[in-house]
Amino acid sequence: MRTIAIIAAKELRDGVRNRWVAAAILLLAALALAIAFLGSGPVGTINASRLSVTVAGLTTLSVYLVPLIALMLSYDAIIGEIERGTLLLLLAHPVRRWQVLCGKFFGHLAILILAISIGYGLVGLAIWATQSVRPGEALALFNLIGSSVLLGAVFLALGYLLSAVSKERATAAGLAVAVWLVLAVIYDLALLGLIVADDGRVIGETLFSTLLMINPTNAFRVHNLMQFESVSAAAGLIGPDGTANQAMTTTLGILILWLVCAGLAAQGLFRRVDP
């Protein structure tokens, strides 16, 4: 534990020093505030409060931005240290490789937690200061923050995986962009295209929802949009009629499964790395 804490503290300090934390907070807070106060024109007509609409908007923001920030923090974690020559010295110390990986993970996770909770928290506070907020809506925001952190954790682990498998920093960076594009941007379009092309012959409803949900960004999106009726309505997602709790557990389970698998794979590859 001690070793992990030492490494995590170093990573966090590093993130603060090279302005990573500040940049991430600024980016998230600015875009979130923009969504909350500029993008809420139609609020009056659909009987959804401003916070509900904002949570729906922030969910979409998280889908794109949180994986990107997480990958940018993590793609460099192993190959970058190898290229700078710092990993050789670190591993010569009484540290185990899984401790190094966990230390980096918790350090980077702390950066994400800071950025997401400050960025989105500010929005919550701003709305709370200007209008009345129902308890359920506040819960939705907390839920969004928590699941965004979990989504970030998944992409941190994926970043370490890329970092351990790459022989050069540039390769890891390229792979990170590719993973982000595929999982956060292209996946849904590709799935849509597939369904249109298939025209209901092979892909039934079950296979479709499975394909949709195995993507962590979709699991995250569904998790947040299902949680209460008005949000579901605002996001154009049909409410699941009482199965919301079960569905939310499933979506969390998918994210955790991604985290565990990617983390274990990263550790397995990291063990074979020659520093």
Partner 1 sequence: MTEVGCNRDRHQVLVKLDKVSKRYGAHSVVSDVNLTANSGECLALLGHNGAGKTTLFKLMLGLIRTNGGSVQVAGAEPGGTAFHNIRRTVGFLPESVAFQDTMTGREVLEFYARLKQVPDEECDRLLKRMGLIDAARQRVRTYSKGMRQRLGLAQALLGEPRLLLLDEPTTGLDPELRRHFFDTIDGMCKAGAAIIMSSHALTEIEAHADRYAILAKGRLAALGTLRELKRQAGLPLRIRLTFPNGGAKAAAGALNGPCNLAKVNDKHIHLDCPEADKMSVLRMISGLNDPAQDVEIEPPRLEDLYAHFTGRERLQ
Q: Which residues bind partner 1 (CB under 8 A)?
A: 2-3, 6, 10, 13-14, 17-18, 84-86, 88-96, 274-275
- Yes or no: say if 31 and 126 are a contact pair by the CB < 8 Å rule: no
- Yes or no: say if 62 and 219 are a contact pair by the CB < 8 Å rule: no
CB-nearer residue toward partner 1: 83 or 188: 83
Structure tokens at 192: 């849509």
CB of 2 to partner 1, least distance (A): 8
CB-nearer residue toward partner 1: 3 or 250: 3
CB of 39 to partner 1, least distance (A): 37
CB of 61 to partner 1, least distance (A): 29
CB-nearer residue toward partner 1: 7 or 153: 7
Query: What is the residue whose two structure tokens read 């980096």?
Result: 104
Query: What is the residue whose two structure tokens read 């498998």?
Result: 165
CA torsion through residues 188, 194, 200, 204, sign:
negative
CB-nearer residue toward partner 1: 18 or 131: 18
Structure tokens at 71: 């990958």
Is residue 51 classed exposed, middle or buried when 0-12, 13-18 and 19+ CB atoms within 10 A define those classes? buried
In angstroms, rounded to a whole number, what is the distance separating the alpha carbons of residues 137 and 173? 38
CB of 270 to partner 1, least distance (A): 12
CB-nearer residue toward partner 1: 86 or 210: 86
CB of 28 to partner 1, least distance (A): 22
